[in-house]
Amino acid sequence: MLDLRGHHAHADRAFRFAAIGAAGLVLLILGMIAVTMTNRALPVFRHMGLEFFTAIRWSPPDSLFGALPFIWGTLFTAAIAVVLAVPISLGVALFITQVAPPWLKRPLVYLVDLLAVVPSVVFGLWGVLVLSNYFSLGRSFLTAGVILAIMIIPIITSLSREVIETTPTTDKEGALALGATRWEMIGAAVLPHSAGGLVGAVMLGLGRAMGETIAAALVIGSALGQITLNPFAPGNSMPAVIANEWGEADTLHKSALIALAVALFVITIVVNLIATAIVQRSMKKSRGT
Protein backbone atom coordinates (compact mmCIF):
# COMPACT_ATOMS: atom_id res chain seq x y z
CA MET A 1 0.00 0.00 0.00
CA LEU A 2 1.25 3.41 -0.94
CA ASP A 3 1.67 5.64 2.12
CA LEU A 4 2.30 9.14 0.86
CA ARG A 5 1.99 10.68 4.33
CA GLY A 6 4.63 8.47 5.96
CA HIS A 7 7.18 10.34 8.03
CA HIS A 8 5.37 13.67 7.64
CA ALA A 9 2.56 12.49 9.88
CA HIS A 10 4.24 13.83 13.05
CA ALA A 11 4.77 17.30 11.61
CA ASP A 12 1.21 17.26 10.39
CA ARG A 13 -0.15 16.44 13.82
CA ALA A 14 2.09 19.00 15.53
CA PHE A 15 0.85 21.71 13.19
CA ARG A 16 -2.72 20.76 13.89
CA PHE A 17 -2.18 20.97 17.64
CA ALA A 18 -0.47 24.35 17.28
CA ALA A 19 -3.49 25.59 15.35
CA ILE A 20 -5.90 24.28 17.99
CA GLY A 21 -3.80 25.98 20.66
CA ALA A 22 -3.85 29.31 18.85
CA ALA A 23 -7.61 29.16 18.46
CA GLY A 24 -8.06 28.12 22.08
CA LEU A 25 -6.01 31.16 23.15
CA VAL A 26 -9.15 33.27 22.69
CA LEU A 27 -10.98 31.23 25.33
CA LEU A 28 -7.89 31.06 27.56
CA ILE A 29 -7.41 34.84 27.59
CA LEU A 30 -11.08 35.55 28.30
CA GLY A 31 -11.04 32.98 31.12
CA MET A 32 -7.81 34.36 32.57
CA ILE A 33 -9.19 37.92 32.50
CA ALA A 34 -12.21 36.80 34.50
CA VAL A 35 -10.23 34.78 37.05
CA THR A 36 -7.10 36.91 37.67
CA MET A 37 -8.92 40.22 37.79
CA THR A 38 -11.72 39.03 40.04
CA ASN A 39 -9.01 37.70 42.33
CA ARG A 40 -7.34 41.14 42.46
CA ALA A 41 -10.70 42.83 43.07
CA LEU A 42 -11.51 40.66 46.11
CA PRO A 43 -9.95 43.00 48.75
CA VAL A 44 -12.37 45.81 47.93
CA PHE A 45 -15.35 43.44 47.93
CA ARG A 46 -14.23 42.14 51.34
CA HIS A 47 -13.99 45.74 52.49
CA MET A 48 -17.19 47.13 50.95
CA GLY A 49 -19.34 44.05 50.31
CA LEU A 50 -21.97 44.47 47.64
CA GLU A 51 -22.35 48.09 48.71
CA PHE A 52 -19.57 48.66 46.21
CA PHE A 53 -22.26 48.68 43.55
CA THR A 54 -24.90 50.66 45.45
CA ALA A 55 -23.03 53.24 47.54
CA ILE A 56 -22.70 56.77 46.17
CA ARG A 57 -19.66 58.06 48.06
CA TRP A 58 -16.25 57.44 46.46
CA SER A 59 -13.52 58.71 48.73
CA PRO A 60 -10.22 56.82 48.56
CA PRO A 61 -8.62 58.65 51.56
CA ASP A 62 -11.52 57.43 53.74
CA SER A 63 -11.42 53.96 52.12
CA LEU A 64 -14.97 54.48 50.86
CA PHE A 65 -15.64 53.05 47.43
CA GLY A 66 -19.18 53.41 46.09
CA ALA A 67 -19.24 52.85 42.35
CA LEU A 68 -22.87 53.66 41.58
CA PRO A 69 -22.24 57.18 40.17
CA PHE A 70 -19.64 55.76 37.77
CA ILE A 71 -21.93 52.95 36.66
CA TRP A 72 -24.62 55.58 36.07
CA GLY A 73 -22.15 57.79 34.17
CA THR A 74 -21.13 54.89 31.95
CA LEU A 75 -24.73 54.00 31.08
CA PHE A 76 -25.77 57.65 30.66
CA THR A 77 -22.92 58.67 28.33
CA ALA A 78 -23.28 55.46 26.33
CA ALA A 79 -27.01 56.12 25.97
CA ILE A 80 -26.39 59.71 24.77
CA ALA A 81 -23.81 58.38 22.30
CA VAL A 82 -26.18 55.73 20.93
CA VAL A 83 -29.10 58.17 20.61
CA LEU A 84 -26.88 60.54 18.61
CA ALA A 85 -25.05 57.91 16.59
CA VAL A 86 -27.87 55.58 15.53
CA PRO A 87 -29.90 57.90 13.25
CA ILE A 88 -26.71 59.26 11.68
CA SER A 89 -25.23 55.79 11.12
CA LEU A 90 -28.46 54.45 9.72
CA GLY A 91 -28.79 57.45 7.40
CA VAL A 92 -25.25 57.00 6.11
CA ALA A 93 -25.70 53.25 5.70
CA LEU A 94 -28.94 53.75 3.76
CA PHE A 95 -27.34 56.48 1.64
CA ILE A 96 -24.37 54.27 0.74
CA THR A 97 -26.48 51.18 -0.05
CA GLN A 98 -29.67 52.66 -1.56
CA VAL A 99 -28.93 56.13 -2.90
CA ALA A 100 -25.27 56.59 -3.81
CA PRO A 101 -24.20 55.80 -7.38
CA PRO A 102 -21.89 52.76 -7.58
CA TRP A 103 -18.70 54.78 -8.16
CA LEU A 104 -19.31 56.75 -4.95
CA LYS A 105 -19.89 53.75 -2.65
CA ARG A 106 -16.31 52.69 -2.03
CA PRO A 107 -14.96 56.21 -1.35
CA LEU A 108 -17.79 56.78 1.13
CA VAL A 109 -17.07 53.49 2.91
CA TYR A 110 -13.40 54.49 3.20
CA LEU A 111 -14.39 57.92 4.46
CA VAL A 112 -16.50 56.50 7.29
CA ASP A 113 -13.78 53.96 8.10
CA LEU A 114 -11.31 56.82 8.35
CA LEU A 115 -13.17 57.96 11.47
CA ALA A 116 -12.35 54.60 13.02
CA VAL A 117 -8.66 55.04 12.24
CA VAL A 118 -8.30 58.30 14.17
CA PRO A 119 -6.95 57.21 17.59
CA SER A 120 -9.37 57.72 20.47
CA VAL A 121 -6.85 59.83 22.37
CA VAL A 122 -6.81 62.28 19.44
CA PHE A 123 -10.60 62.59 19.66
CA GLY A 124 -10.14 63.17 23.38
CA LEU A 125 -7.52 65.87 22.78
CA TRP A 126 -9.80 67.55 20.25
CA GLY A 127 -12.73 67.22 22.61
CA VAL A 128 -10.95 68.78 25.57
CA LEU A 129 -9.06 71.56 23.78
CA VAL A 130 -11.46 72.42 20.93
CA LEU A 131 -15.01 71.08 21.36
CA SER A 132 -15.39 71.90 25.06
CA ASN A 133 -13.81 75.36 24.68
CA TYR A 134 -15.24 76.70 21.43
CA PHE A 135 -18.71 75.23 21.60
CA SER A 136 -18.97 76.06 25.31
CA LEU A 137 -20.06 72.54 26.18
CA GLY A 138 -17.55 72.39 28.99
CA ARG A 139 -16.58 68.98 30.30
CA SER A 140 -19.81 67.09 30.82
CA PHE A 141 -21.81 63.94 30.15
CA LEU A 142 -22.96 65.53 26.88
CA THR A 143 -19.43 66.33 25.66
CA ALA A 144 -18.41 62.75 26.40
CA GLY A 145 -21.57 61.47 24.68
CA VAL A 146 -20.84 63.53 21.54
CA ILE A 147 -17.24 62.30 21.32
CA LEU A 148 -18.33 58.70 21.95
CA ALA A 149 -21.02 59.06 19.27
CA ILE A 150 -18.42 60.14 16.71
CA MET A 151 -16.33 57.13 17.69
CA ILE A 152 -19.06 54.49 17.42
CA ILE A 153 -20.56 55.79 14.16
CA PRO A 154 -18.08 53.81 12.00
CA ILE A 155 -18.87 50.43 13.60
CA ILE A 156 -22.65 50.91 13.59
CA THR A 157 -22.53 52.18 10.00
CA SER A 158 -20.41 49.34 8.65
CA LEU A 159 -22.45 46.63 10.39
CA SER A 160 -25.75 48.21 9.30
CA ARG A 161 -24.42 48.44 5.76
CA GLU A 162 -23.57 44.73 5.74
CA VAL A 163 -26.99 43.80 7.10
CA ILE A 164 -28.86 46.09 4.70
CA GLU A 165 -26.93 44.76 1.73
CA THR A 166 -28.36 41.29 2.34
CA THR A 167 -31.86 42.53 1.40
CA PRO A 168 -32.89 40.51 -1.67
CA THR A 169 -33.02 42.64 -4.82
CA THR A 170 -36.34 41.01 -5.72
CA ASP A 171 -37.94 42.44 -2.55
CA LYS A 172 -36.73 45.92 -3.37
CA GLU A 173 -37.68 45.72 -7.05
CA GLY A 174 -41.07 44.30 -6.07
CA ALA A 175 -41.78 47.34 -3.92
CA LEU A 176 -40.59 49.72 -6.62
CA ALA A 177 -42.64 47.90 -9.27
CA LEU A 178 -45.75 48.49 -7.15
CA GLY A 179 -45.08 52.19 -7.49
CA ALA A 180 -43.42 52.75 -4.11
CA THR A 181 -41.09 55.71 -3.79
CA ARG A 182 -37.54 55.08 -2.63
CA TRP A 183 -38.39 55.82 0.98
CA GLU A 184 -41.47 53.60 0.86
CA MET A 185 -39.33 50.85 -0.66
CA ILE A 186 -36.86 51.21 2.24
CA GLY A 187 -39.70 51.09 4.75
CA ALA A 188 -41.38 48.11 3.13
CA ALA A 189 -38.46 45.95 1.98
CA VAL A 190 -35.13 47.02 3.49
CA LEU A 191 -35.90 47.85 7.12
CA PRO A 192 -38.18 44.90 7.97
CA HIS A 193 -35.63 42.56 6.42
CA SER A 194 -32.71 44.10 8.34
CA ALA A 195 -34.38 44.87 11.68
CA GLY A 196 -32.74 42.08 13.69
CA GLY A 197 -29.26 42.80 12.40
CA LEU A 198 -29.68 46.52 12.96
CA VAL A 199 -30.60 45.94 16.61
CA GLY A 200 -27.44 43.86 16.97
CA ALA A 201 -25.35 46.59 15.31
CA VAL A 202 -26.72 49.19 17.71
CA MET A 203 -25.94 46.95 20.70
CA LEU A 204 -22.37 46.42 19.53
CA GLY A 205 -22.08 50.20 19.29
CA LEU A 206 -23.45 50.47 22.83
CA GLY A 207 -20.83 48.02 24.06
CA ARG A 208 -18.06 50.04 22.42
CA ALA A 209 -19.36 53.29 23.88
CA MET A 210 -19.38 51.84 27.39
CA GLY A 211 -15.82 50.57 27.17
CA GLU A 212 -14.24 53.54 25.43
CA THR A 213 -11.85 55.01 27.93
CA ILE A 214 -9.46 57.69 26.96
CA ALA A 215 -11.71 60.13 25.12
CA ALA A 216 -14.27 59.91 27.92
CA ALA A 217 -11.59 60.29 30.58
CA LEU A 218 -10.48 63.57 29.02
CA VAL A 219 -13.86 65.24 28.47
CA ILE A 220 -16.30 63.88 31.05
CA GLY A 221 -15.21 66.23 33.82
CA SER A 222 -14.18 63.80 36.59
CA ALA A 223 -16.88 64.95 39.01
CA LEU A 224 -17.70 62.68 41.95
CA GLY A 225 -21.10 61.53 43.13
CA GLN A 226 -23.08 62.71 40.09
CA ILE A 227 -26.23 60.73 39.48
CA THR A 228 -28.29 63.08 37.38
CA LEU A 229 -30.20 63.22 34.12
CA ASN A 230 -28.75 66.65 33.34
CA PRO A 231 -26.47 66.08 30.32
CA PHE A 232 -24.64 69.38 30.91
CA ALA A 233 -23.39 68.34 34.34
CA PRO A 234 -19.82 67.11 34.69
CA GLY A 235 -19.67 63.46 35.70
CA ASN A 236 -17.55 60.35 35.58
CA SER A 237 -17.65 56.87 34.10
CA MET A 238 -16.05 53.57 35.07
CA PRO A 239 -13.24 53.53 32.47
CA ALA A 240 -12.58 57.25 32.99
CA VAL A 241 -12.14 56.81 36.76
CA ILE A 242 -9.73 53.93 36.21
CA ALA A 243 -7.59 55.90 33.75
CA ASN A 244 -7.59 59.13 35.77
CA GLU A 245 -7.03 57.73 39.28
CA TRP A 246 -4.66 54.83 38.64
CA GLY A 247 -1.49 56.93 38.92
CA GLU A 248 -1.98 57.92 42.56
CA ALA A 249 -3.82 54.84 43.81
CA ASP A 250 -2.68 52.76 46.80
CA THR A 251 -3.34 49.03 47.17
CA LEU A 252 -7.01 49.07 48.23
CA HIS A 253 -7.79 51.91 45.82
CA LYS A 254 -6.16 49.89 42.99
CA SER A 255 -8.25 46.90 44.00
CA ALA A 256 -11.36 49.10 43.75
CA LEU A 257 -10.33 50.31 40.29
CA ILE A 258 -9.75 46.71 39.18
CA ALA A 259 -13.19 45.85 40.57
CA LEU A 260 -14.60 48.61 38.34
CA ALA A 261 -12.82 47.01 35.39
CA VAL A 262 -14.31 43.62 36.29
CA ALA A 263 -17.79 45.16 36.41
CA LEU A 264 -17.14 46.86 33.06
CA PHE A 265 -15.88 43.56 31.62
CA VAL A 266 -19.00 41.73 32.74
CA ILE A 267 -21.38 44.41 31.42
CA THR A 268 -19.67 44.68 28.02
CA ILE A 269 -19.39 40.89 27.69
CA VAL A 270 -23.12 40.50 28.33
CA VAL A 271 -24.01 43.27 25.86
CA ASN A 272 -21.63 41.82 23.27
CA LEU A 273 -22.88 38.25 23.76
CA ILE A 274 -26.44 39.34 23.09
CA ALA A 275 -25.45 41.58 20.19
CA THR A 276 -23.26 38.94 18.54
CA ALA A 277 -25.99 36.33 18.90
CA ILE A 278 -28.56 38.66 17.31
CA VAL A 279 -26.26 39.64 14.44
CA GLN A 280 -25.21 36.05 13.69
CA ARG A 281 -28.78 34.80 13.76
CA SER A 282 -30.09 37.53 11.49
CA MET A 283 -27.17 37.06 9.06
CA LYS A 284 -27.82 33.33 8.94
CA LYS A 285 -31.53 33.90 8.41
CA SER A 286 -31.01 36.38 5.59
CA ARG A 287 -28.48 34.10 3.87
CA GLY A 288 -30.93 31.21 4.16
CA THR A 289 -33.78 32.91 2.34
Partner 1 sequence: MTAVADTVGPHIDLTAKRGWRSIKSAIMTGLMVASLAAVVIPLVAVIWSVAARGLAVAFQSFPDFFAKEIPVVARRPGPGMGPAIVGTLLSTGAATLIAVPLGVLGAVYLHEYGKDNRFARLVRFMGTVMTGVPSIVMGLFVYVVWTLQFGYSAFGGALALACLMLPVVIGASEQMLKLVPIHLREAAYALGTTKSRTILTVVLPAALPGIVSGALLAVARAAGETAPLLFAVGAATEYNLSLFGEANTALSVQIFANANSSFVAAQERAWGAALTLVLLTFLVTLVARIFTARVASQR
Say what the alpha-carbon torsion angle 154, 214, 228, 75 is, to the nearest 10 degrees: 50
Least Å from the CB of residue 226 to partner 1? 19
Measured from the CB atom, is 188 or 228 closer to partner 1?
188
Question: 117: closest CA among 83, 67, 70, 154?
Answer: 154
Least Å from the CB of residue 141 to partner 1? 18
What span, in angstroms and rounded, lies between the C-alpha atoms of 286 and 163?
9
Least Å from the CB of residue 259 to partner 1? 10
Measured from the CB atom, is 224 or 274 closer to partner 1?
274
Measured from the CB atom, is 48 or 278 closer to partner 1?
278
Least Å from the CB of residue 183 to partner 1? 4
Measured from the CB atom, is 53 or 265 closer to partner 1?
265
Least Å from the CB of residue 145 to partner 1? 13
Measured from the CB atom, is 10 or 62 closer to partner 1?
10
Measured from the CB atom, is 16 or 57 closer to partner 1?
16
Instruction: Show Cβ contacts of residue 229 under 8 Å, excluding neighbours closer than 6 positions.
Output: 76
Least Å from the CB of residue 166 to partner 1? 15
190 membership: H or E segment, kind and range = none
What span, in angstroms and rounded, lies between the C-alpha atoms of 144 and 241?
13
What span, in angstroms and rounded, lies between the C-alpha atoms of 36 and 137?
40
In this structure, the number of other CB atoms found within 10 A of the CB of residue 86 comes to 20
Q: Which alpha helices (DSSP H) does 212-250 contain, by range? A: 214-219, 238-245
